[in-house]
Amino acid sequence: MNELLQKLSECVEFGKINLASSYPPQMKGQDGADELTVNALEQGVNPQDILNHGLMPGMEKVGIKFRENKVFVPQVLMSAKAMSTAMIHLKPYFISGAAKQKGTFIIGTVLGDLHNIGKNLVAMMLEGSGYKVIDLGTDVGSEKFIGALNENPGAIVGISALLTTTMIHMQSITKEIKNAIPGTMVTIGGAPVNMDFCKKIGADYYSPDPQGLVEFLNTKFN
C-alpha cells in the first residue's frame, strides 16, 4: 500500500493526471493519479488514507516548491488537475462520511473583478490539501459570501483580487461578513494586496502563496 500511495503522491507532485497524459515527460507510459486512485480503492485502501497519505503529501511538496519559485503556475495547475482527477473517485466517500475533509473554505474573486486563475489555483490546492472548497466564482459581493456561509457554518472565507481598483471592495465585504456572522475568519490574497492591507481592512490573514494559506487553515481546523 505504501508504495502505491507513494506513487500517487508523485503523480500529484509532478502533475501526472492519467496514463494517456504525455506530461510530465519523465512519467510517460506510467499510470497517473486517475488509475492509481482507482487501484487503491479496489485494493481496499481507506479513502481517508488515499487523501492523507497519497494526495496531500504531493500537493504539499508542490505548494512549497511554488512558494520557493522552483515551479511555476502551469506546473502547479497540472498537479492540481492530477489531484482533482483523483478526488473525483473519492468524492462519494466524502458525501457518505466514510472520509472526512478537514474543513470548508469559501472562495471568490472580489466584486468588480473578473480574474480567476489565481483563485482557481488556490481552490484546487486547498482541495488537494484536504479541504472542501466552495468556489463562488468571480465578481462576488458580500451577499453571496454570506449566503454560502449560512449554508456552510464554520467555514473560513477567502477573497481574491487582481486589481488595485477592485481590492478596495475587500474592506466593505470583510466588514459586512463579520457583521452578519460574527467570528467568521476572512483571508485575502492576490497580486495587489499585502499584510498591511489585510490588517488595515480587518481581515484575519493574508498569504502571498497558496501553501501559506494551507498552513494557516491547518492551524484553524485542527
CA–CA gap between residue 36 and residue 187 (Å, rounded): 34
Among 91, 92, 147, 164, binds another protein (CB under 8 A): 164
Residue 81 in the binding site for another protein (CB under 8 A): yes
**DSSP label of 98:** S
Residue 33 neighbours by CB under 8 Å, 6+ apart: 8, 11, 12, 16, 17, 18, 55, 82, 83, 85, 86
In sequence order, the β-bridge partners of residue 110 are 140
Q: Compute φ and ψ for 160, nearest 5 degrees.
A: -115, 145
Considering only the stretches 29-37, 95-103, 106-114, 127-135, report the one whose residues sit in contact with another protein under the rule CB under 8 A.
106-114
CA–CA gap between residue 108 and residue 136 (Å, rounded): 5
Residue 141 in the binding site for another protein (CB under 8 A): no
Among 117, 137, 151, 195, binds another protein (CB under 8 A): 117
Query: Which set of grid coordinates corresponds to residue 127?
Result: 482541495
Residue 181 in the binding site for another protein (CB under 8 A): no
Residue 199 in the binding site for another protein (CB under 8 A): no
Residue 85 in the binding site for another protein (CB under 8 A): no
Site map (CB under 8 A) of another protein, residues 4-23, x = contact: -----------x-----xxx
CA–CA gap between residue 175 and residue 196 (Å, rounded): 17
Residue 88 in the binding site for another protein (CB under 8 A): no
Residues forming contacts to another protein in the complex (CB under 8 A) are 15, 21-24, 69, 71-75, 77-78, 81, 112-117, 120, 163-166, 191-192, 208
